[in-house]
Structure 1
Amino acid sequence: MAENNIVVESNVVEAKAHTFLMEFEGAELLRKFELPVAKSKLAKTKDEAKEFAEAIGYPVVLKGMSKDIVHKTEAGIVKLAIQNKEELFRAYEEIVENALTYNPNAKLEGVLVQELAPKGIELILGIKKDPTFGHQLIIGLGGTLVEIMKDFSMRMMPVTIQDIDEMMKELKSFPILDGYRGRSGINKQLLYTSCLSLNDLVESHPEIEELDLNPVIFTENEAVICDVRILMGEQVKGNSLDRDLSHVYQMINPRSIAVVGASTNEKKNGGRLLRYIVENGYTGELYPINPGAEQIKGYKAYPSLLDVPGEVELACIIVGASHVPKVMEECVAKGVKAAIIYSSGFAEVGEEGKKLQEQVLDFAKKGNIRVLGPNSIGIASPSKNIYTAFGAALESKIKLPGNIGFVSQSGAMGSALLSRAWEQGAGFSRWISVANEADLSTSDFVEVLADDELTKVITIFMEGLKNPKAFEQATKKALKVKKPVLVFKTGRSSIGKRAVQSHTGSIAGDDAVYSAAFKKFGALRIQRLDEIIDVSHAFTVQPLPKGKRIGVITASGGACSIIADLCSERGLEVPELTSTSEKIKEYIPPFGSAQNPVDVTAEVIAKPEMFKKVVETLIQDSDIDGVIVMLTTNADPGATIIAQSLIDVFKNHDKPLVIGRLGAEMIAPEAMALYSKENLPVYPTPERVVSVMDYLVKYSEILKKKQ
């Protein structure tokens, strides 16, 4: 191919920001990284075009080259399958004429003479540079129907061969790529080498904003890039990872707290905040700060922080926004380690608020004080009886300690989920409202919770990320200690402004980029809001499955088919049983089913003791990685016997046992109380049961991949 390379006078690397390279410029750049671009030369005249066509070999393709025309086919400046000199001259003249008709001001740099690609399977290889996460690789079914079919997969770059394999298998068109009915698929090795070369390309040229290679034609032995479109952007400096989180320990485990803005009026936030700290049993030193009060809730009040006689590790600042900089100045003088700013009226309200927030940060940096907020609801640590928060959820009479570390970028949503989780029996180690993230971010708290001995699972309600490198570092730390990071991401936002000019941009929306980043970092994305509590709670009590082979037990043929369908939709296997089936037949009536899913029938109501034997037999099967039990309608006292049986089996085995119960709780209050006492969650629908098992399997797969 070297003899057909074109010589470009302009320096591709120095292209102006947010300008498309012409195809011959892009092709030259790709050739430097040994990507299989179709042979081509740029002709300035008809005679040159004829010379180049003869050198390349007919048939050829002609393409007009102009920076002023992005969509060449639409402008009529692409001519295919030219067979001879006469057709070439005619096509050349038509391209020049059509270009001027389409855009009279267009400057035509020449006509690209390109080899006609072979027939094969058309893919698109694309790159999108996301402003948050950087370059993303897209692989999909290519050609003219890219935007309509939207059959694509995405990963954060750099990608590995394992990533590329996974991307191919995620495509609906994978059977075509893999080969079917005697037809050859694509040469996968050529796809691997092309994608790995794209890794090298963006590492060398991080200013690439978008790249479309569409189509790239793959055959059994060949790959040819037929069309190249590259948008050049600006190089953006990455965020720093130089973060000292040592004082965050004092924020979540304070031995002394000053509440600046504490109020005797408990209808005010400052009064509620102090009440929650006191009523929930805080045992450290507590200093209400209020110049107009002598004491509040039995504690001596002080006019200012500087009047406090002892050390203050954490300052809870709940005064008007305009007063916060003065309070932060006092924090510096007092040697405070950490501060929570509950006040609103900062960056979230506009430019004046941003300036005020910058003043606060200046004082924080001066005093080496770590700040949560502003506009935060605060922190709750039920396992420590420390509640430096004022959310209405704290009015709950039930405040369960547990092992879920929860970080929320939405105070209201986070508070609602906290109360709902307590109602469902899920307990928390930490609950944190990060709000404006002026200083400490979601990523910082993920890293802190990865070290927190009280936390087993880290759950995030996320609206966006400021520093993806910090998030990657934090999730890697959590992965290393096998603490799942679960993310519910809101804001499935629209594509960028320039997407209409790019196939890649049109299919790779912002939300898809977040999903790709989570896969890269080993975080598990939660798809639905109602799954957050279910899945978080499950990870604190359930062992991880070693695979995705699931045994199913129900007392209803209808439930059997529902669970089997849901498992199939999620990619979980429900394997046939071998010797285990014969054992199960000994315990169930002949009109039941000893195959997987196992139907024990309504006999379980009359003979609940036999249920334990069936469950134990199934969970002991070496070909089963986890068991789903879907109960329908059973009442106490039989329901209690079944509950105790399931609890006994769960405690004596190292496989997940996920339990569902469709019947009303009111007919089995003793059974439900027993499940609750043993902290074994029971889910009310088949969908939720299968969903929980699926997330357990997915995290197990993440651990295997990252080891």
Structure 2
Amino acid sequence: MAENKTLCAGLGTDIQSGTFLMEHEGADLLRKYELPIARSTIAKSKEQACQIATEIGYPIVLKGMSREIIHKSDAGVVKVNLKNEDELTSAYDEIVKNALKNNPGADIAGVLVQEFVPKGMELIFGIKKDPTFGHQLVIGLGGIFVEIIKDFSMRMMPVSVDDVEEMLKELKSYQMIEGYRGKKGINKQLIYTICLSLNDLIEEHPEIEELDLNPVIFTDNDAYICDVRILITKHKEKELVRKDLSHLKQMINPQSIAVIGASTNEKKNGGRLFKYVVENGYKGKLFPINPGAKEVKGYKAYPSLLEVPDEVELACIIVAAKHVPDVMEECVAKGVKAAIIYSSGFAETGEEGKKLQEQILAIAKKGNILVLGPNSIGIASPNNNIYTAFGAALETKVKVPGNIGFVSQSGAMGSALLSRAWEQGAGFSRWISVANEADLTTSDFMEVLIEDELTKVITVFMEGIKNPKAFSLASARALKAKKPVLVYKTGRSSIGKRAVQSHTGSIAGDDAVYSSVFKKFGVLRINRIDEIIDVSRAFTVQPLPKGKRIGVITASGGACSIIADLCSEKGLEIPELVDTSEEIKKYIPPFGSAQNPVDVTAEVIAVPEMFKKVVENVMKDPNIDGIIVMLTTNADPGAFIIAQSLIEIFKENDKPLVIGRLGADNIAPQAMELYNKEKLPVYPTPERVVSVMDYLVKYSEILKEKGIT
């Protein structure tokens, strides 16, 4: 009871943490925040119920109140549309009988007498307290179909009026709220007022775990909350302690490295790690630590870290887990600033491994050492030729430097994406495998990448967020710096960790919470695995569009239709070309289309100079914010000339030019080589080219919403 002192004391009830309030208790609480609760009073007897009903006015609703009965309708303790005293007294007796039948041990607090609300549109307003991110507001289509239709939107609280308006527009039922076929919609001011009052409620009562207001019935100018369900509990709030990241530069750009566990056998992880450091041109001091070897790849080996005569900034620890604590003690004694632990066998393996992980973290804190891992694959910094990683992706001979800062919580997936990205010509500023995040987290590396001049976009392969406050601060800083944060989040189909008894808890799963959080923080959620590389590359080279008006240029009527359909699905606009259309007609045959989408036909593709004129005119149109060019099967040498033209137009303008090419690369090797040389991505399908443009537009809209120019 002490855990919920404020709420329970205010209600004057003996309520334990982790239980639902009875409806009349919840209603009394909500009235204090001027929420539109349907008129109701609890009765302790039939006689009192009749008196209350007379005061409220028939028809009325009766609801049995018991803390042991959560789902009242299922238990038969709800009776509606009672028109007179005879119906009321009969229903009262039946409610008491059904309550005891449902739960013979139920303590019946009374029967709630509530006004019978007129018909109207039914919505649900819900709150879910996520253990990681806190309270989330849910708005959706209410009534009996909540969990069947699942038409809802979610945002992290507190919400603004703009947030609520966005939420409503995301609903499939938005047109019903707005009004349709001559029918008047809901007075949205009533919705805004409810949501802002719920902000106040949660600010003063953070112990609310779940809340359902369902249904909330809206008539012409009124709203009625007809059912209230509130679960209270108490989570111990974690306070954010800002980590000192000053030593992280020694991990990212070390001047001296000791590899503890370096091996002369390059089939072993320790051998591969040392090989990659050496063969990729590391320029700093390098010390292999191996008590059984005199040298490794031409470098003098030392039996222990303590015998290295020089300063060591970064320790790369790749020994069996049981030996890591002793190595960490040597790191403390040596004055090492940062350590990467590649070894597995820690928290990912169970309770014993977790204890071992806590032990090494305690040693690291004693020596003020920053730790990456355990179970990490390491870090790659292609621009600086520093590869303190042992992933198989490093076997490639082509390692492309660039401007993508990539942070992965999955070593295997991160390594696979790195190899695939390099194959496609995508370049990285940093690639980081954070693994167990015993010390340094994804958010810490986001902070570093925001400051990194080589990084233009921050991409994260995410399984979860360990420190939500740090993530929110890093996301805010990235927005201010106009560095897009792209997140691919796994676990979409995961279910909650506990059974939920509210409608809100049922529909608002863990994945929906992450989407809500990303929207709140201005993070772009990547929906498909193949989009990770596509979109990351685009943000390193493309300017942001000022709006969502897209010009589409193809050499195929079929491609025009496909691109138009895909743009429509994404909410991208394809405006008419007015004066520009007349100009385009000069360069295309009469059987082409000079209107947007523009079909230049195969004849113009055969005359690349004419194609360039068309693209230039669409680019100059003031009603166009970005251009999609979807090529089909053009071959060299014409394809090469078109590539030259598109690159020239791209460099001379400040609008995004996103290029797709459906034909095989091997019929236009010169063109593809030129695109790669100029770092201008070419996407192989209409779906991927439209998706890239959509992400550029979304980020531009995020900056506008946040007031960042």
TM-score normalised to the size of structure 2?
0.97
Shift of the alpha carbon at 1:465? Answer: 1.1
Quick one: distance in 2 between partners of 1:157 and 1:95? Answer: 38
Task: Give the match for residue 229 of structure 2.
Answer: 229
Shift of the alpha carbon at 1:309? Answer: 1.2
Task: Give the match for residue 502 of structure 2.
Answer: 502
1:155 partnered with 2:163: no
Quick one: distance in 2 between partners of 1:228 and 1:676? Answer: 60
Deviation larger for 369-378 or 345-354: 345-354
Asked whether the equivalents of residues 643 and 674 of structure 2 are also in contact (C-alpha less than 8 Å), the reply is: yes
Aligned pairs, number? 701
Task: Give the match for residue 3 of structure 2.
Answer: none
Structure 1 stretches lacking a partner, 5+ long: 1-6
Deviation larger for 470-479 or 229-238: 229-238
Task: Give the match for residue 338 of structure 1.
Answer: 338
Deviation larger for 636-645 or 238-247: 238-247
Alpha-carbon distance change, 22 to 255 in structure 1, aligned in 2, over 3 angstroms:
same
Shift of the alpha carbon at 1:498? Answer: 5.2
Asked whether the equivalents of residues 12 and 25 of structure 1 are also in contact (C-alpha less than 8 Å), the reply is: no
Shift of the alpha carbon at 1:340? Answer: 0.1
Quick one: distance in 1 between partners of 2:629 and 2:450? Answer: 32
Shift of the alpha carbon at 1:239? Answer: 3.8
- 2:697 partner amino acid: V
Asked whether the equivalents of residues 8 and 14 of structure 2 are also in contact (C-alpha less than 8 Å), the reply is: no
Asked whether the equivalents of residues 495 and 508 of structure 1 are also in contact (C-alpha less than 8 Å), the reply is: no
Alpha-carbon distance change, 55 to 497 in structure 1, aligned in 2, over 3 angstroms:
farther
Asked whether the equivalents of residues 155 and 516 of structure 1 are also in contact (C-alpha less than 8 Å), the reply is: yes
RMSD (CA atoms): 1.3
1:662 partnered with 2:662: yes
Alpha-carbon distance change, 43 to 278 in structure 1, aligned in 2, over 3 angstroms:
same
Alpha-carbon distance change, 497 to 25 in structure 1, aligned in 2, over 3 angstroms:
farther
For residues 471-620 of structure 1, the aligned pairs below 5 Å read 471-496=471-496, 499-620=499-620
Structure 2 stretches lacking a partner, 5+ long: 1-6
Alpha-carbon distance change, 343 to 668 in structure 1, aligned in 2, over 3 angstroms:
same
Shift of the alpha carbon at 1:281? Answer: 0.6
Q: Deviations over 1:622-648 (max 9, x none)?
A: 100000000011000000010000000
Task: Give the match for residue 297 of structure 2.
Answer: 297
Asked whether the equivalents of residues 402 and 429 of structure 1 are also in contact (C-alpha less than 8 Å), the reply is: yes
Asked whether the equivalents of residues 544 and 656 of structure 1 are also in contact (C-alpha less than 8 Å), the reply is: yes
Deviation larger for 695-704 or 499-508: 499-508
Q: Deviations over 1:659-694 (max 9, x none)?
A: 000000010000100101111000000000000000
Quick one: distance in 2 between partners of 1:246 and 1:469? Answer: 20
Shift of the alpha carbon at 1:137? Answer: 0.4
Alpha-carbon distance change, 9 to 332 in structure 1, aligned in 2, over 3 angstroms:
closer
SS in 2 for 1:501: coil
1:682 partnered with 2:679: no
Shift of the alpha carbon at 1:500? Answer: 4.7
Alpha-carbon distance change, 656 to 14 in structure 1, aligned in 2, over 3 angstroms:
farther
- 1:312 partner amino acid: V
For residues 30-69 of structure 1, the aligned pairs below 5 Å read 30-69=30-69
Q: Deviations over 1:227-260 (max 9, x none)?
A: 0001112132124142111111110011111111
Shift of the alpha carbon at 1:134? Answer: 0.9
Shift of the alpha carbon at 1:81? Answer: 1.3
Task: Give the match for residue 408 of structure 2.
Answer: 408
Asked whether the equivalents of residues 555 and 605 of structure 2 are also in contact (C-alpha less than 8 Å), the reply is: no
SS in 2 for 1:175: helix
Q: Deviations over 1:95-115 (max 9, x none)?
A: 111112222222211000111
Asked whether the equivalents of residues 251 and 339 of structure 1 are also in contact (C-alpha less than 8 Å), the reply is: yes
Quick one: distance in 1 between partners of 2:441 and 2:214? Answer: 39
For residues 126-145 of structure 1, the aligned pairs below 5 Å read 126-145=126-145
For residues 374-453 of structure 1, the aligned pairs below 5 Å read 374-453=374-453
1:366 partnered with 2:381: no
Quick one: distance in 1 between partners of 2:76 and 2:500? Answer: 19
Deviation larger for 512-521 or 238-247: 238-247
Deviation larger for 307-316 or 685-694: 307-316
Shift of the alpha carbon at 1:412? Answer: 0.4
- 1:504 partner amino acid: T
Asked whether the equivalents of residues 46 and 92 of structure 1 are also in contact (C-alpha less than 8 Å), the reply is: yes
Quick one: distance in 2 between partners of 1:267 and 1:80? Answer: 75
- 1:505 partner amino acid: G
Deviation larger for 99-108 or 432-441: 99-108
Quick one: distance in 2 between partners of 1:317 and 1:9? Answer: 55
Asked whether the equivalents of residues 564 and 597 of structure 2 are also in contact (C-alpha less than 8 Å), the reply is: yes
Asked whether the equivalents of residues 8 and 15 of structure 2 are also in contact (C-alpha less than 8 Å), the reply is: no
Task: Give the match for residue 354 of structure 2.
Answer: 354
1:648 partnered with 2:648: yes
Alpha-carbon distance change, 497 to 325 in structure 1, aligned in 2, over 3 angstroms:
closer
Shift of the alpha carbon at 1:15? Answer: 2.8
1:83 partnered with 2:83: yes
Task: Give the match for residue 204 of structure 2.
Answer: 204
Asked whether the equivalents of residues 138 and 504 of structure 1 are also in contact (C-alpha less than 8 Å), the reply is: yes
- 1:125 partner amino acid: F
Quick one: distance in 2 between partners of 1:55 and 1:467? Answer: 53
Asked whether the equivalents of residues 495 and 506 of structure 1 are also in contact (C-alpha less than 8 Å), the reply is: no
Task: Give the match for residue 702 of structure 2.
Answer: 702
Shift of the alpha carbon at 1:293? Answer: 1.6
Q: Deviations over 1:350-404 (max 9, x none)?
A: 1111111111011110011000000000000001100000000000010000000
Task: Give the match for residue 3 of structure 1.
Answer: none
Shift of the alpha carbon at 1:184? Answer: 1.2
Quick one: distance in 2 between partners of 1:24 and 1:456? Answer: 55
Alpha-carbon distance change, 660 to 269 in structure 1, aligned in 2, over 3 angstroms:
same
Quick one: distance in 1 between partners of 2:145 and 2:27? Answer: 23
Shift of the alpha carbon at 1:606? Answer: 2.2
Q: Deviations over 1:462-510 (max 9, x none)?
A: 0111111111011111111000000000012433365552111111111
Task: Give the match for residue 270 of structure 2.
Answer: 270
Task: Give the match for residue 165 of structure 2.
Answer: 165
SS in 1 for 2:74: helix
Deviation larger for 522-531 or 181-190: 181-190
Task: Give the match for residue 308 of structure 2.
Answer: 308
Q: Identity over the aligned pairs, expressed in percent?
A: 77
Quick one: distance in 1 between partners of 2:622 and 2:12? Answer: 59
Asked whether the equivalents of residues 187 and 221 of structure 1 are also in contact (C-alpha less than 8 Å), the reply is: yes
Asked whether the equivalents of residues 605 and 611 of structure 2 are also in contact (C-alpha less than 8 Å), the reply is: no
Quick one: distance in 1 between partners of 2:13 and 2:252? Answer: 49
- 1:244 partner amino acid: D
Deviation larger for 520-529 or 75-84: 75-84
Quick one: distance in 2 between partners of 1:346 and 1:97? Answer: 57
Quick one: distance in 1 between partners of 2:316 and 2:30? Answer: 56
SS in 2 for 1:74: coil
Task: Give the match for residue 96 of structure 2.
Answer: 96
TM-score normalised to the size of structure 1?
0.98
Task: Give the match for residue 461 of structure 1.
Answer: 461
